[in-house]
Amino acid sequence: MRRSNDKVRTEGDKTMRNAKRLFVSLALAVQAALVAAEDKPADASGWPAVDKSDWKCKYCAFQTGWSGEFELGAVYVSDDSYKFAEYTGLEKGGYAVANANARYTNPESASRWDLYATNLGFPYRAVDVDGGKQGSYRLRLNYSELPHFISDSARTPFVGSGGDSLTLPGTWVYGGTTGAMTDLPNSLQDVDIENTRKRVGVGLTVPWRDWEAGVNVRHETRDGTKRIAGAFLTSSAQMIAPVNYTTDDVEAAVSYAGTKAQVKFAYHFSSFSDDNAALTWRNPFAVPPAYPGADVGQLALPPENQFHQLLASGAYQFTKQTRATASVAVGRNLQDDPFLASTLNTSIAAPTLPRSSLQGRVDTINADLKFMSLVTDKLRLDASYKYDDRDNRTPQDTFSWVSTDSVLAAPRTNLPYSFTRNLFKLSADYRVAKRDKLSAGVDYDINDRTYQAVDKTKEGTFWAKYIAHAADGGDISLKYAHSSREGSTYQAVPEILPPENPLMRKYNMADRSRDALGLRITQLMGGATTVGFGFNYANDDYSNSTVGLTSSSDLVFDADVGIQLTKSTTFHVFGSYEEIDSEQAGASSFGNPPDWTGTNNDVIGAAGIGIKQKALAGKLDLGADYTLSRSRGHTTVAGDTGFPDLTSRLSSLKLYGSYRVTDAMSVAMAYWYESYRSQDWQLNGVTPSTVSNVLTLGETSPNYNVNFVSVSLRYRF
């Protein structure tokens, strides 16, 4: 039967080939006759020449030379707020709008260059250049700045904030409590806490046949300030520490991409340095004889360190249905900054340290193996294995040390923490029907640790997911997962001083049972309306924990609607609600069973509405968006009134539009109003002198009302 079918198929192929030849011959004959009738000369082949002057291919045009768009304009921000400007740096005042993107192409030389310049007139800005000659090289250049505004409400009596040495005013009156510091109100000065990252990078890639070699270099600086705190016995002070960091990264790689196999070898180097080794500060509580000799404190700042890593990765396509990928990376972290002196207190005879520097070394191995196969048209299998090993080779010694520059403390031994993780995953996708798919999988996670309360934990997870696609465009996705984690015998690490409560269970290593359920529905209604609904719930049970976290849950609802009101008008609305609950048990005395419980309840809600409109034959685009979010954190302790609620409220209105004056030029305008209110009992009402033994920065919860207006001209060329 098969031979008969093959014979019929062969004869059919011959018939089709003969028909094609006959069609071509007839077409050429007709063409020759028409050309001859027009008395056209023949080409070198003897056939009459064909006039191609009217032949046009609209898909054959290539962009040559320069093309792109630039935007110039102005922005005004009405008020100052570090919270509003947290990652933009946009404070009160005017700014220039300067954006551009351009492309240069030269098909004859196979060259292409892309330029992207974003927010050049803003504190956060970026420039990227990417291009080269196809088949010869590719060059990438980039520069960016990113500010981080932390606080504009801090006040401190320390002089020299931003440097590595903090002093006190000459009029300072020392006191055993903040209330006794009679010159404190007159000594307070406003300080802004902020820092900025600046990053410059260059990359070069050179291809050669199926091979490619490349190198990427990045230099980053981070300058500014951050919060820090230091202590003397039972008193402490919040201060401002300098940030002067430099990070350099280099990556060199060689890769091969064949029809079935792909391979990559790479080396990565990273170096970090800090211009400041330590922060010193005068003790504002230094009243003899409570702090004999403890006049100046010292805190170490981030030490210099390096990281080296070798990487090898590859992939192989066994068949059209089966593929495997693998990677392995071997790294080494080094940190050998000299130790600071045990103390600056000359009244304490500090013993000699066992070595002059950490001599820190951590070796890492990361491996990842994945396998995928389409067993049938309906069944797909995926398997993966991940291995992570952190081997801390830092020497272990017993150190005599001075506690808070005040007293000689009991010797301690450094604990070079290490861990090994093995993660196995197996999953399958089965297409039940043309539009429906059932997925299921099993994950098994094994963690081995040293110098931790639990030496080994094992966690198994089973999950299943069903996806259904309706003929009218609707989608339904339902997923359920259950996991169980068990650990070896829980025992407090004897080297940790002071000792931990043996009844406490740390939540990341404690026995835990977790159930999670997720549902997502999307439905097209009438072709012009899309409705979406989502539900997610997760519950964690720490039934074997006596002291510590005992349970937690997370509930999320969200819904959205999108409507095409007319051909030129679209409308959308959305809302979400999330509630997070947790409960923990505590013991007021060491080793005792729990005698109090605490609960946390966090609620976050958000909603938004928006509309877009095209008018004036498509020349005018208008839009408006309004979003509102609320959050509340409530903490209670059994038998107590608990703490005041933590609250925040954000309202944002955005109006925007653009008018196309010509095909190349348009005018854009935008208005943005944002209002934010927050209440944090840890900050509000806590002045620098509120707590008798803590000199705080006196920060307040951020609140602001900001108007943002922009006008710009866009030109496309």
Cα–Cα distance for residue pair 455/449, rounded to 1 Å:
5
Cα–Cα distance for residue pair 365/388, rounded to 1 Å:
6
Q: Contact, 626 vs 655, CB < 8 A? A: no
pLDDT for 351 equals: 84
Smallest CA-to-CA distance from 627 within 660, 586, 676 is with: 676
User: Lowest-pLDDT range, 7-21, 406-420, 585-599?
Assistant: 7-21
Question: Angle 30-34-36 (CA atoms, 0-180°, nearest 5)?
Answer: 115
Average pLDDT for residues 490-513, to the nearest whole number?
Answer: 90
pLDDT for 8 equals: 39
pLDDT for 472 equals: 73
pTM of the predicted protein model = 0.86
Quickly state the pLDDT bin for 486 (edges 50, 70, 90).
Answer: very high
pLDDT above 80 (res 36)? no
pLDDT for 289 equals: 67
Q: Where are the domains of the chain?
A: 1-46
pLDDT above 60 (res 455)? yes
Structure tokens of 519?
Answer: 């549902």
pLDDT above 70 (res 37)? no
pLDDT for 288 equals: 67
Quickly state the pLDDT bin for 11 (edges 50, 70, 90).
Answer: very low
User: Lowest-pLDDT range, 245-259, 324-338, 498-512, 584-598?
Assistant: 584-598
Residues in the chain: 717
Average pLDDT for residues 460-469, to the nearest whole number?
Answer: 96
pLDDT for 500 equals: 87
pLDDT digits (tens, 9 = 90+) for 664-701: 999 999 999 999 999 999 999 999 999 999 999 999 99
Q: Residue 489 CA to chain centroid, in angstroms?
A: 35
Average pLDDT, the chain: 91
The neighbour count for residue 521, using CB atoms within 10 Å, is 16
